[in-house]
Structure 1
């Protein structure tokens, strides 16, 4: 049976497509007006939602500043005091507090507190704000206290020195607390944004326009009344920002629909002609430049998927996108192969660290010291102390034999450390005072086993003596570190501190010799890096005038650990 010609089928389809395109063009001319009308209304609502949300948040932020100032009841009361010292101190306190509040608040120009009893006027201004304008607003605030000519607790516009301000003032008795922002700075980030044919306007309760974003015309300009804009010529959408005080309108000219419709008709007509001319060309181009190269790439990827990792995407592609796809895919395959190799190497390293961890915990000198302590207590006839010591020692050994690259709760590790303190108290009576601060809500946080014990054992080895009392503080808290929530374990003492070389290799990733001093601390640092795949989780430092501080950051989840 003779196969049909693919080209003939394409031409027949193109004729049908041409008829359909002319039909679509007629439908488009009929319906375009309504479609664009709805689009303008929808876009008006969208712009309105964006601006109203930003305005609402900004107003709430400024209301929060006023609320914070009014909460300073003591200082506000003292600036009315007959005692001049109290007034001065209260004024300084309020001034500093306003300066703190204004830090980082780019949308606020001026905060003012005025009290008429002793003519006290305090202010905090944004950097760069005009000095004369500041004095003018201060005077206005003081005059309002005397005349009571405005409504308290109400957002409104103020025209001063050829500039419009959005302000709110809290009046009570002889005092006013006010906040001012230049209307040009209000939502300044949106000033340069394109709003198409829309005008976004901020209006007070009287309908007076205070700010216009977008197109400004004779009818839509600051100082005009929103009620003077004809609904016959404009679409309007409205949202309330502060009930009964501030509103935002989105306004668009109805005539803009006709302009958009004419442009749309031209584009659609041109698109119909170009579509017919380029249809055949596109099909040929698609086959040669897209379909065939893509099939070649798919075949190579299928081979890689089936386990032929030595295979790479081959071929000389003419188009930049396919060249990039070829390079990136080959690079990804190389990285996958390397990651597999690294995964096997990491498993070997984890096993080696497991062995080293056990060796570090079960040290011969530990048992020799334990036997020496028992012998010394026996010669002194302290048999009850021997029983206590052996009981603590047995708990310690059982806990140590479980150690490796595994995690336990902070509570479990702390209990073990307490047991270790009790055991060492018999050897160093009265030589160590320790304090542990562990919030109950953090008790179940998982940490590497023996992590705290290793640092405490290091204290007894290098800092504890019978001649002096060493104070050790263990504090557990939750902190943000490396952009995530981590458990922070701080171990602080008032001993002689670390040698410089120990601080260098612990804080700078410089591995010490295996026979070097405090190799146990380095092993803990390396163990943390392997378990959590992060660096810088252990930091140590010396304190002035004496003592040291160890910081251990523990993420919530491990990346690698042994599961028993």
Structure 2
């Protein structure tokens, strides 16, 4: 993740700067071109407005100062009206040549139902009739009477064409002119807007008055404000720049193809986009290649090392296609771990061998005092010729030593250990008649469970050695039961006597788990049991020492339950506390 994040931190900003530079340069070029065309539209719109202004002034001057118009307006007789009409026709016919943009001048007297029209060039009859009818309807409807007193050119759509109409009312006579919008576009045809661009007039509602096919073909929107430029278009983008007219409710708009503005810049943009796209594609591909060639082999190596650290020495790195360097590392690692595992097995087997030897040695330890005392008892029984007791004593000693010499077993059945303890008790009972009693309680379902040999008997022997006297009888009780400790079924063995118990010093040492063996060899039995239990169970055994109430020693041993006999070790012993 750190490596991938580092590569991304280096790459992504460079791609971002590259894209930003491309977008910024495009915006700068568009701004400059838009400013240039905006100035051009202002210039040409000013020329159009000046042309309309000249026509406006001519109409106003005629209304105010021309005697023929006054006569046309005020004449009462039909003769005077017709004469003034002829005079106005001649005047308008002469003057229309000065205004090349005007298609027609007209005079309309609604009360006399008279329409005088002077055309620069005769157009189609249908066009002229449609325009005249529109003008008549507009004037006769009288919906907005004040509109004819303003100096504004009105835009009208007549038979799919747009016209600019100017009407001035003077008394009962309307004097005006109309211009075909296409005629005003003639000067703009000399301007180079590119192969697909052009200029046009549009209403303030965004409807094209001229060059309608260009708008419809490219679906350019004209309803935005003309204060700033904007981009519009369907199949290709156009830079839209416009300027509103000061004389009418229409705009002069320039459509400049975006590819003409940018010229070679689109190719550079494409290159930048391709570079950015290539970087974005190559970045994950590069990271994937990096992950496949370096990160995954490292991950497999680290994963194997973690499994080995957790104790799985058989863990190996699987063979997979990778670079030669990692193949050498993996093979070396696997060979090294095989050698380590083999060495560990040898060391472990040697330790097991030493443990077995130590267990056998500990199990073969015989208390010389017990042996001598037993012979002394047999001697005294022989002196009194008590042959039955001699036979019983001999049989108990034979069974005792037979059990002691079973040095090849690390575990025996619980019933065998209890029988050995009873056998030892019978021998001691002959030695201390009336001074020693013993009772053993064990559930029937536990008697076939396996336990280490000479554990219970050793603590009984320790009680006989340190607690039994001829002054006061001693009672020993042995209770075996099953408990569940941390989810693991265990056997608990409680050995308790009615003797004087442990001294404070001895009890403190035993509770700390320290050895009590003295230079004279005392307490070797307890050390023997502790040592063998540690060898067999490591830490999965608990043994506690305490004094009973009101007195007496109490030993409690907790062992994991074992249903199979094990020789030479404790590999199948369950662990307490997860160990």
TM-score with structure 1 setting the length? 0.42
Larger radius of gyration: 2
